[in-house]
Each structure stands twice: as C-alpha cells, then as structure tokens.
Amino acid sequence: MRNAWHKKKWGIMKDIVRALGLITKGLLVDGRAEEPGAEKARAYLGRRDYAHAAEELKKAISSHPDDPEAHYDLGVALVRAGKLDDAMGSFVAAIKLDPGFAEAHYNLGVVFAKKGMLDDAIREYNRAARLRPDYAKAHFNLALALTNKGLHDHAKSELMAVGGIRRRQALEHYNRGVELAGRDEAILSMAEFREALRLDPGLYQAYNNIGAMLAHNGMIDRAVAEYGRGLSINPDDPELHFNMALALSAREDHGAALKELGEAVRLSPNFAEAHYSLGKTLAALDKLDWAVSEYKEALSLDPGLSMAYLDMGVALEESGDLEAAAGAYRDFIKSWKFEYGALWEFADRRLNDLEKAPASPPGPRSIYPTAAK
C-alpha cells in the first residue's frame, strides 16, 4: 500500500513536471559557480575525487576558519562523497558565519531530504527561496519535499514558481542572443539562444533566430530543421513559415516553399514580404499571372518594396504583356533608392529594349541579376 501511494504521489509530480517541460533526476545538489580557491582542491573536484578534495578543504579551513564559503565547499564535497552527517556540520557552520548564504541553506535542505528529514528539508528550502526568490533549484526541491509530504497544492505552486523563473531566465538569454546577433557575434548569439531553449523549450522564437543565422551562413538543411522545430511548437507563426519558405527556395524546393508562403499570408494577410516572395516562388514555377497578382498585392501593402516592381516586370515580359512590363520597369527605376548598380542597369536595359522594339521577345532569364550589391 505504501509503495502504491508513493507511486501515485510521484505520478502527480511527474505530470506537473512534464507540463512545465522540466527534467530532473532526483535531488539537485548545488555547487558554487566558482570552485574553491585551493588549487589542489579544484583539481580533485574536477576529477570527482571528493575524499581528497575534502582533505584539501579542511586544510584551507584550518587557515581561514571564518570563511563561510570554505565550509560550504567542504560540505558540497562531503555530500558528493556520501558523508551526509559531516556535510551537515559544514553547511551549518557556513550558515552560522553567513545566515544569508542561500546556497548553504539549500544544500543543508538536500542533506536533510536525503536523510528522510522532510520537515527540516522544507524549512531550509524555504529559507533559501526567501533569500533568493529566483532560486529555481530551491523551489524545485521544495516541491519534491512537499509532494513527499502529500502537500500537492503547495508543491504545484512551487513548480509554477520554477516555471516562471526559468521563463524569465530564458528571456534574458534570448535578449542577449538578439543583442549579440546585432553585433554579428553569431557563435555567442547562438549559444545564448540554445541556453534560452534549455530553460524554456517552448521559446519557438529562438529556433527561428538560430535558423536565420544558419541560413545566413549557408547551412540551409540545418536551418530548415530549426524552423521545423519552431513550427512544431507554434504552427501559427507567419514569420517561421516565411523563413522556412526562404530556406526551401534556397535549395530550390519551390513546391514546399509555396506551401509555407501560403500559410504565411493566410496567417498574416498584410505580410508584404511574404506576398512578394510568394510571387517569386510562383514565377519560378512558371505561374506568371498568379505571380504578378502577388507582386501587386505586395506593392499595395508596401509601395516601397522596389524589388516587386522589377520582378513583376520580368514576369509580365515573359508572359508577353510588354507594355505593362515597361511600366513596371519604370516604376522600379523611380523607386530604387540606391546607387546605380546591376539591378538598375538591368531594368534600364530592358526598358530601353522594350521602348525601341516593343514587339521583340524578352531577354533570357540568365541576364537577370540574382542579388543586389
């Protein structure tokens, strides 16, 4: 009966954890971000030789008995060595020296929980969480202890706090990623987006940004995979569909790109760039009349989208409507805001050819520049 009740309690806990997208394996022991100052102790901890690390830390404490962090580090080494009673003494010593040492309260709670002293564990986790309200591990282990006490409503409240903390932390990393991307620091930016996703796997915008950086660097297949992960979370995001379409077009999968762009404009009918890209994709599939219709729609939404005039001119010329094509080239030349270049020269040349011999066949597609400089 006891085992059945334990399974029921843990089943409730797993349902809550699964809903929040959290993963854990038992109690979480918290070490400091920086290892102890003693070089030998750091080396032993790095090798997971906790017994020798503890010996080195004891030597450090004999030289600096009033250093709460030294006692704390010793406690962490002792926990990992399985010496719970000795670890308890070290954490208590750290707290006496620094009552506001949240990590020491937290790890003292871990020791109490491992020893089955749930009321004491709950008390220490609570103190850690009050000292550091954003301490996700403290809230999480508190939820575990509360669940084992049968206090499921309180446990759920703590887990919701964990979810909120993780989401806030995820947004901090996401925003840092955006800032780094703006400075062209792609590797650091991608690392921030990955950390954001670790904290909040539902942050689909991070997948979109990772995909955009991969596509920018020519890693199209990987970009498609990232966009796909984002769309599996939020299939109603028009920007994800749009960027997926651009990546698919880059590998000349125009049929799949057409589907993605159709979703983008369905979800966001005023998305001018999506209508423009839809026009380009339709032109690549030789659906010229439909392409012209999409170029016109893009321009009605954003008259400054100069490239739509140029591509519309090409589509109209290829479909045989030379007068309308000449008008589109004129509109492009008037609206082009940059210095003369390959695109402007192309439009000017096509316009001159049409004005001189309007009945002449259009020039080959190969003369159309593929990118602006």
pLDDT at 39 (0 to 100): 66
In a domain, 194, yes or no: no
In a domain, 271, yes or no: no
Give the structural domain span for 20.
2-160
Q: Which of 160, 180, 210 is the last residue of a domain?
A: 160
Q: Which of 160, 176, 210 is the last residue of a domain?
A: 160
**What are the tokens at 39?**
């070089």
pLDDT at 77 (0 to 100): 86
pTM beyond cutoff 0.85:
no
- Using the structure block, give the residue that is written with the tokens 């040492």: 101
Q: Which of 277, 280, 315, 275 is nearest to 298 (CA)?
A: 275
What does each of the 373 residues of the chain score in pLDDT, given as a tens digit? 333 333 333 343 343 333 333 333 334 456 553 444 456 777 777 778 778 888 888 888 888 888 898 898 888 888 888 889 999 999 999 999 999 999 999 999 999 989 999 999 999 998 998 998 888 888 888 888 888 888 888 888 888 887 788 888 898 999 999 999 989 899 999 999 999 999 889 999 999 999 999 999 999 999 999 999 999 999 999 999 999 999 999 999 999 999 999 999 999 999 999 999 999 999 999 999 999 999 999 999 999 999 999 999 999 999 999 999 999 999 999 998 776 688 888 988 998 988 885 454 544 444 444 443 3
In a domain, 191, yes or no: no
Judge whether 46 and 226 are in contact, CB under 8 Å: no
pLDDT at 38 (0 to 100): 57
> How far is it, in rounded angstroms, from Cα 109 to Cα 145?
10
CATH number, domain with residue 305: 1.25.40.10
> How far is it, in rounded angstroms, from Cα 139 to Cα 11?
19
pLDDT at 18 (0 to 100): 37
pLDDT at 148 (0 to 100): 83
Q: Are 153 and 299 in the same domain?
A: no
In a domain, 210, yes or no: no
In a domain, 243, yes or no: no
